[in-house]
Chains A and B, each alone.
Chain A
Amino acid sequence: MTGPHYLQIALVVLAAGAPLILLAGLASRRIASGLAQLGALAAATCGVASLFAGHGAQALPVLRIYPPGTSDLTGVDFPGHVATDPVIATIAVTVLAVVLAVQVYAGWYLRDDDRQPAFQATVSLFAAAMLLLVISRDLILTLVGWEVMGWCSYLLIGHWSRKATARRAAYKAFLVTRLADVGFVIGVVALIAVAGTSDIDALNRDVVSWLTSCSPAGGCGRGAVDFAMTALIIGVLGKSAQIPFQDWLIDAMEGPTPASALIHAATMVAAGTWVLSQLTPVLRVGLEGTSVASWVLALAVVATMVYAAFCAFFQTDVKRVLAWSTISQVAVMLSPLAVAPGAESGSAAATGHLFSHAIFKALLFLTVGWLAVLAGSTAARDLDGIGADSGLARGVWGLGLISLAGVPLTVGGISKEHVIDVASWAEDGGAHLQQGIVTVALLFTVALTAAYATRAYEIVAGRRSTAEPDADGAAQAVFTPAEGHEHGDAGPLVKAVLIVLAIATLAGGLAFLGPLDPGHVNVGLLALSVALIAVGVLVGWYLRPDDALPPSRLMTLASNGFGADTAYRQLVAVPVLALARLVAFLDREVVETYVRGAGWGSGLAGWAAEWPHRRERVATNLVWVAIGLLAIAGVALWG
């Protein structure tokens, strides 16, 4: 048994578990929930086993029904490989661990929800799709995982489909990511067409050698590769909720908190980072720095990380703070891919931040879900001081936020240092302008992140302020306790999950001694970022808005994402609908006129033919018949 074997078993357990959980849900919700947790546990065990087993690649057994290799039909090589190496196995284990945490957590959180089995089955399928995407060494398998995840995220966000806002959020998430996925599919198809293979390793090797061997003055299909990567990056931006697609993730907070934890921590939004990190040789080496693709990526992530961190500071809802922070952190994750000097350093930095973000974001979401159940809401004013009396709550929340802020030696701090280090490489050659922009944005984001993390900690842990909350404040509570959410405090298992994740935010740094080793530590940068964090904390402490007061105009605006939803509607939905109406109008009034014209013609002809018969009489007709017969007989005899 090698690594790929173990992970394929995990894949089968998770994918086959989904229908089984649904079936078991017909009998009992508790059995279904137990089955889901057992499945996640088995998968996680397989994942850990794959870490220590031999690594390698093999074709997915399902695809052996048809001999893999060059298809006569398309002339495209489709080996369908899955593989593990230390990094892949680490990320797979992270994904599976987060899924296990989420399944255990959802067993408690959704205990009184009659659709709990459907939720946990979807989580299982979602995890299988993400696992497939992680271990896939083939763009077609990647695409399969990508699309299944898109569908599952729609189901999870719209889980409370009896709420109109949840339905709308699900539609929005689906439509926005779907729109971006058009780019992703085009990019994948174009890459496969250019390279003649869908195998990621072969594709990287072929495209890079092909682009570096020909003259640097353009030509050689460099434009085609650039186009393909740009399209692919647009898809990644959509899935990762980067500008201009950022708004769906905020609305996705309508989903249950475990779903948010799953989508934000290890799967959906991080998937783009993973896919892109697999293709860094093409992006960074093949296209050599200043391509359209890398500019698109760099500008999008620079704008997103600063804007999202800024928005996060002014949210009136703690869950939305976390959502904006995810957007910002995913931008941080993507930034080394845009400007890294070489394929390895960029992808290692991105993967490292993916790993640490998965841990601390899962911890933060699960904690806020627990606290929200206690408080009955996720609005900042309702959560105010909720954890002041609970050491556990303050501890896990604080550890998660420290890691989010990137304090050195926490898992988030190590990976973030690595990202900044890679982005600000000072060796000769390359895209200095891009690098400069990205580095400045990263340092700015460090301070902003520390600021909103400080505010988030103060909301939960600080003593309740003296000002009485007025009843009609405009605080927007995303989560209102569903009926049946009065089961109070979490059980010991859930608390254990939180504690384990909290420990992982500290101990997870050990992974950077192993497969995610950043290589060296840039002490100067480290000192700079510590200083920036300190500034951020101070700024956050003194400038934090008072949640007990009605939110200021800026906060209301920020809570609405500065009208991004309206912009989507005005810029995309309205023109598309207008176009659809135009097409419908043309179809109805122009195309159908021909059809109706035929109908009118027939009707007219029928009327004209019927008219002489309108007052006809049998006797007259008999005369006509007799005349006709006589004429026929006469013609027959003498004609």
Chain B
Amino acid sequence: MTSLDIAFLATGAITVAAALLAVTTRHLVHSALWLVLALGGLAGCYLVLGAELVALVQVLVYVGAVVVLVIFAMMLTRAPIGPSPDHSTSRLHRLLAAVLGAGVTALLLAVLLPLGGEVVARTPVSTTGIAEDIFGTWVWPFEALSLLLLIALIGAFAVSRLTRPAGEVRR
């Protein structure tokens, strides 16, 4: 048990706990807030693993942008305030979902745990090195991503215009 192990245990525990709460809470808005905590915890995990840049981007993009968008969407779709059982599916369905989620976890653990038995030293990655690699080796995927973002932007505009006439909004 190294110090890093302990640090990771802490952040990992927070992440998993927050994630669990995010998918089980009966409050719609709480779900988003728990997501903030889970993603923040994930950023902590990145830090522990020595990936400072990724951790910062995670905080910036996810916590700063994505979660805000999610909350906006909740508001735009008239999310009710307060606990409601309507946010989750039926009991049987949830049981099935839990079995499937556990199955996924078990499958991944069965694959991954045999690989992570012994203690290894983490390889520090410098931000400079990442920058050189992004604008060297990965420059074309990077440019393609910029295009993807542009397309997503235009797509969002286009989709938001695909609305029916006002008379048909409520049925």
- Interface residues of chain A, those whose CB is within 8 Å of chain B, are 619, 623, 626-627, 630, 633-634, 637
Contact A623–B107 (Cβ < 8 Å): no
What residue of chain A has the Cβ atom nearest to residue B103's Cβ? A630
- CB-CB < 8 A to B104: which residues of A? 626, 630
Contact B107–A619 (Cβ < 8 Å): no
Q: CA–CA, A621 to B48, complex, Å? A: 38
Given A637-B107, A637-B111, do A630 and B93 touch, yes or no (CB 8 Å)? no
Q: 6 nearest interchain CB pairs?
A: A626-B100, A630-B103, A619-B89, A633-B107, A623-B96, A630-B104
- CB-CB < 8 A to A619: which residues of B? 89, 93
Contact B107–A634 (Cβ < 8 Å): yes
Contact B107–A630 (Cβ < 8 Å): yes
Q: CA–CA, A619 to B111, complex, Å? A: 28
Contact of A627 among B100, B110, B111 (CB under 8 A): B100
Per-residue CB contact flags for chain B residues 91-132 toward chain A (1 = under 8 Å, else 0) read 001001100100110010011000000000000000000000
Q: CA–CA, A637 to B104, complex, Å? A: 13
Smallest CB–CB gap between A43 and chain B, Å? 75
What residue of chain A has the Cβ atom nearest to residue B107's Cβ? A633
- CB-CB < 8 A to B89: which residues of A? 619
**Given contact pairs A630-B100, A630-B107, A633-B107, a sample of 6 additional A-B residue pairs in the complex whose CB atoms are under 8 Å apart:** A619-B89, A623-B93, A623-B96, A626-B97, A626-B100, A630-B103
Contact A623–B111 (Cβ < 8 Å): no
Smallest CB–CB gap between A377 and chain B, Å? 72
Q: CA–CA, A619 to B92, complex, Å? A: 13
- CB-CB < 8 A to A630: which residues of B? 100, 103-104, 107
Contact A623–B103 (Cβ < 8 Å): no
- CB-CB < 8 A to B103: which residues of A? 630
What residue of chain B has the Cβ atom nearest to residue A622's Cβ? B97
What residue of chain A has the Cβ atom nearest to residue B108's Cβ? A633
Q: CA–CA, A633 to B106, complex, Å? A: 12
What residue of chain B has the Cβ atom nearest to residue A626's Cβ? B100
Q: CA–CA, A300 to B103, complex, Å? A: 99
For this complex, 13 residue pairs linking A to B, each with C-beta atoms less than 8 Å apart, are: A623-B93, A623-B96, A623-B100, A626-B97, A626-B100, A626-B104, A627-B100, A630-B104, A630-B107, A633-B107, A634-B107, A637-B107, A637-B111
What residue of chain B has the Cβ atom nearest to residue A627's Cβ? B100
Smallest CB–CB gap between B149 and chain A, Å? 27
Within 8 A of A (CB), among B76-99: 89, 93, 96-97
Smallest CB–CB gap between A617 and chain B, Å? 9
Q: Which of A619, A630, A634 is the most central at the interface, judged by chain B CB atoms within 10 Å of its CB? A: A630
What residue of chain A has the Cβ atom nearest to residue B90's Cβ? A619
What residue of chain A has the Cβ atom nearest to residue B111's Cβ? A637
What residue of chain B has the Cβ atom nearest to residue A630's Cβ? B103
Smallest CB–CB gap between B109 and chain A, Å? 12
Smallest CB–CB gap between B119 and chain A, Å? 26
What residue of chain A has the Cβ atom nearest to residue B104's Cβ? A630
Q: CA–CA, A611 to B97, complex, Å? A: 25
Q: CA–CA, A609 to B110, complex, Å? A: 38
Q: CA–CA, A619 to B107, complex, Å? A: 23
Smallest CB–CB gap between A626 and chain B, Å? 5
Within 8 A of A (CB), among B44-97: 89, 93, 96-97
Q: CA–CA, A633 to B111, complex, Å? A: 11
- CB-CB < 8 A to A627: which residues of B? 100
Smallest CB–CB gap between B90 and chain A, Å? 9
- CB-CB < 8 A to B100: which residues of A? 623, 626-627, 630
Smallest CB–CB gap between A27 and chain B, Å? 60
Q: CA–CA, A623 to B104, complex, Å? A: 13
Q: CA–CA, A637 to B109, complex, Å? A: 12
Q: CA–CA, A623 to B100, complex, Å? A: 8
- CB-CB < 8 A to A633: which residues of B? 107
Smallest CB–CB gap between B110 and chain A, Å? 8
- CB-CB < 8 A to A623: which residues of B? 93, 96-97, 100
Q: CA–CA, A623 to B89, complex, Å? A: 12
Smallest CB–CB gap between A636 and chain B, Å? 10
- CB-CB < 8 A to A626: which residues of B? 97, 100, 104
What residue of chain A has the Cβ atom nearest to residue B101's Cβ? A626
Smallest CB–CB gap between A622 and chain B, Å? 9
What residue of chain B has the Cβ atom nearest to residue A623's Cβ? B96
Q: CA–CA, A634 to B103, complex, Å? A: 10
Q: CA–CA, A634 to B89, complex, Å? A: 26
Smallest CB–CB gap between A320 and chain B, Å? 74
Q: CA–CA, A630 to B110, complex, Å? A: 13
- CB-CB < 8 A to B111: which residues of A? 637
Q: CA–CA, A619 to B103, complex, Å? A: 18
Q: CA–CA, A633 to B103, complex, Å? A: 11
What residue of chain B has the Cβ atom nearest to residue A634's Cβ? B107
Smallest CB–CB gap between A632 and chain B, Å? 11
What residue of chain B has the Cβ atom nearest to residue A633's Cβ? B107
Smallest CB–CB gap between A460 and chain B, Å? 84
Q: CA–CA, A242 to B104, complex, Å? A: 96
